[in-house]
Amino acid sequence: MTELPARPWHPSYQQVGIAPKLQALPYRNLAELAHECCRKWEAESKVKAAFSCVVPNGMNGRLSFAEVDELSDAFAGYLRAVVGLKAGDRVAVQLPNSLGYPVAALGVFKAGCVLVNTNPLYTETEMVHQFNNAGAQVLVMVDMFADKLPAVLAKTGIQKVVLAAVSEFFPAIPGGIVRGVQRYWNRVLPPVTAPHIRLKDALAQGRATLAKAPARTYWEGVGRHDLALLQYTGGTTGVSKGAMLTHDNLINNIQQTRAMGVSHMAPGQECVLTALPLYHIFAFTANLLGFLSIGGHNVLIPSPRPVQNLQRAMENYPVTWMTGVNTLFNGLLNEEWFVAYPPKTLKASISGGTALHTMVAQRWRELTKTPIAEGYGLTETSPVVSFNPLTGTPRDGSIGIPAPGTDVRLVDDQGQDVAAGAPGEIWVRGPQVMKGYWNAEDETARVMHNGWFATGDVAVMDEGGFMRIVDRKKDMILVSGFNVYPNEVEDVIAGMDHVLEVAVIGVPDGKTGEAVRAYVVQNPDHAREVMPADVIAHCKQHLAAYKVPKLVVVRDELPKSPVGKVLRKDLRKAVAEEMSRG
């Protein structure tokens, strides 16, 4: 396999005003980035608040850039001087979007330690696997799920537990009301029976040590190529694995992410709505690190479900940017309050994580009068690989062009470049590509090929370097020898007004090897009822016969990941169980 003779997307950069060469940020590590940016934007940002956390009833708390800097310094002091961690030790942070999250995460970096992002909704089994695999010694956890601690601590090497509240750092009155509702109305605060310390107490202990050892002494020796983050994959291809992301990976991807939105970004003036969880790599890099680096105001939503939870935040803050997945944007488009009063200050939105359906993109632009662009990335690439520019003609269905500094090739099963316009697996090379999987050399060797990361996603590329995903290899459906890509079928069905959501999988079939099955959810705001026969008839109008679903199942909801991504694997698992019962 030869090197790429050309990069066909470079002329596309010129058309939208993007420099093909990646400009390096002047930071040795993420701790220095956090400290320097907090100092800069405390003085210069027009938004004044660095982070706000807004609960569904509108009650909120906020932290300034100076407060984030000081509090994360204190947490670094706690980890190093009080707990006794060393540089490179792992700290698990298991928090929803809340003010405690940036304090803890940035504090881990300032301590010279490695952050292990953990989903708060993980089961005890999932927690035990991840903590043991990562070798985590400290756990920062939301107190809503502290009832899991006794079982988890007995099976892991966790030495210290720091508990934080969703309303951490709220003013006394709204914070007390939120806690009261959680404890007495919603009953979501279990008794804590395991040894622990509260975050504010840990910060007080850490703050007391900084006179002897300032926080910067812990990060001064951390280099760009040192490990910063263990970001665990969703486990869609087996046991969850920890992608090793360095400071350099993430700092470069911040720049690559900013390149995507440079035409619609004014440093020190943006307000981003963060509904996706910060423990997910998309929001972690784009929202937390990216908007911190430009002095933006991050409005954190602890839980975006139901989607009405976003209403008060969108009404009370001048939101200029949004990131999300297809289901989030689609959900907002079906909310009466959002349709009646779309955000007036919005500049742009970015969709990732899963395909942005054409109908959703078109409706979003029509309603908000702002661009929405789909990007593409993976945990292993920090995550951004490619993006659609926000200027020019929208390219619905495309994942855009490779980010500056990124090389992409499409290859066949033998690792050879495919012909122009032919589908091939996406291989990526660039400064954002992980070092490998933590303690999994065999898995690393399976996906890394002489510096190229094999994504497992199949795409086609046009003459301008714009790519279109046709699907993951394992999701492809083989019908009588013909390839059927679920994204294509889903996009057609999503064009029906009375369909709210759709997922397509392949199921075993005695005649054709596999058959296409579609799962659809009724749009509650549409009077017309979803009928399987109508869906099939609609597909016959837009798809070749072998792509048309053989069976359409109407469901109340589809299985989703914590970030709203429809889980086809859960649907396939249910089919397998169904067939095993005969």
pLDDT in tens, 420-477: 899 999 999 999 999 999 999 999 999 999 999 999 999 999 999 999 998 777 788 8
3-state helix/strand/coil string of 458-489: EEEECCCCCEEEEEEHHHCEEECCEEECHHHH
Cα dist from 575 to 486, 505, 517, 520, whole Å:
16, 10, 10, 15
d(CA 99, CA 401): 34
3-state helix/strand/coil string of 72-137: HHHHHHHHHHHHCCCCCCEEEEECCCCCHHHHHHHHHHHCCCEEEECCCCCCHHHHHHHHHHHCEE
Using alpha carbons, select from 354, 405, 391, 357 the residue that is nearest to residue 376. Answer: 354
Calculate the dihedral angle through the C-alpha atoms of 466, 296, 53, 312, rounding to the nearest 10 degrees: -70
Burial of 581 (0-12, 13-18, 19+ CB in 10 A): exposed
Residue with tokens 């956090």: 34
Share of the chain above pLDDT 70, in %: 98
The per-residue pLDDT for range 111-121, each reduced to its tens digit, is 999 999 999 98
Indicate the residue type of 3.
E
Give every CB contact of residue 176 below 8 A, 6+ residues apart in sequence: none
- Taking residues 150-157, what's their average pLDDT? 97
Quick one: pLDDT band at residue 2, thresholds 50, 70, 90?
very low
Cα dist from 374 to 264, 349, 428, 483, 557, whole Å:
15, 9, 18, 24, 24
Indicate the residue type of 454.
A
pLDDT, residue 420, reads 87
Residue 126: φ, ψ to 5°:
-65, -40
> Mean pLDDT in the chain?
93
d(CA 197, CA 175): 19
Neighbours of 415 (CB within 10 A): 15
**pTM reported for the whole predicted model:** 0.89
259 or 62, higher pLDDT: 62
d(CA 108, CA 284): 14
Task: Match domain 10-458 to its CATH number in 3.30.70.580, 1.10.3720.10, 3.30.70.270, 3.40.50.12780.
Answer: 3.40.50.12780
The per-residue pLDDT for range 92-128, each reduced to its tens digit, is 999 999 999 999 999 999 999 999 999 998 888 889 9
d(CA 16, CA 316): 33
Indicate the residue type of 566.
V
Residue ranges covered by each domain of the chain: 10-458, 476-580
Task: Match domain 476-580 to its CATH number in 3.20.20.370, 3.30.300.30, 3.40.710.10, 3.50.50.60.
Answer: 3.30.300.30
pLDDT, residue 49, reads 96
The per-residue pLDDT for range 301-320, each reduced to its tens digit, is 999 989 999 999 999 999 99
Report whether pLDDT(15) > 60. Answer: yes
